[in-house]
Amino acid sequence: KVLPACLLLALLLLAPALATENERGLIINLEAGELCLQSIQCKSGCCHRTSGLSLARCAPKAPEFHECSPTSIYGVYYKCPCESGLTCDTDKSIVGSITNTNFGICRDPQDLYRR
């Protein structure tokens, strides 16, 4: 009888945190500036930190001609990935991916083909 009561209590506490698609929650659909652990929590899709010791916060994706990181599995970025429709023009080396230093510049892929 203790386990069902604990489960019910956990569900009651988590229910407000789990938001619908249009609502802001405590752990998902976070706005820019709110603390995060993974990019999936942020409305923008970018959980950003300025240094290895700083707290990560949701941030907007990088616009054209700004620094960016390619999308990674880590979920936290030092430079946000590009806005939709742009690509992060960078050296995609294995070492850069592991050390999280493979920063680039957001560019329109149509402009890359015109060069």
Is residue 102 domain-resident? Answer: yes
Residue 40: give the domain boundaries: 27-114
Is residue 99 domain-resident? Answer: yes
Q: What is the pLDDT of residue 25?
A: 61
Q: How far apart are CA 88 and CA 107, in angstroms?
A: 6
What mean pLDDT comes out for the span 107-111?
A: 88
0.85 cut: is pTM over it?
A: no
User: Tokens in use for 37?
Assistant: 């652990």
- Whether residue 31 contacts residue 43, with contact meaning beta carbons closer than 8 Å, is answered with yes
CB atoms within 10 A of CB 34: 16
Total domain count for the chain? 1
| Per-residue confidence band for 94, with pLDDT thresholds at 50, 70 and 90 | low
- Supply the CATH number for residue 49's domain: 2.10.80.10
Indicate the burial class of 51 (C-beta count within 10 angstroms; 0-12, 13-18, 19 or more). exposed
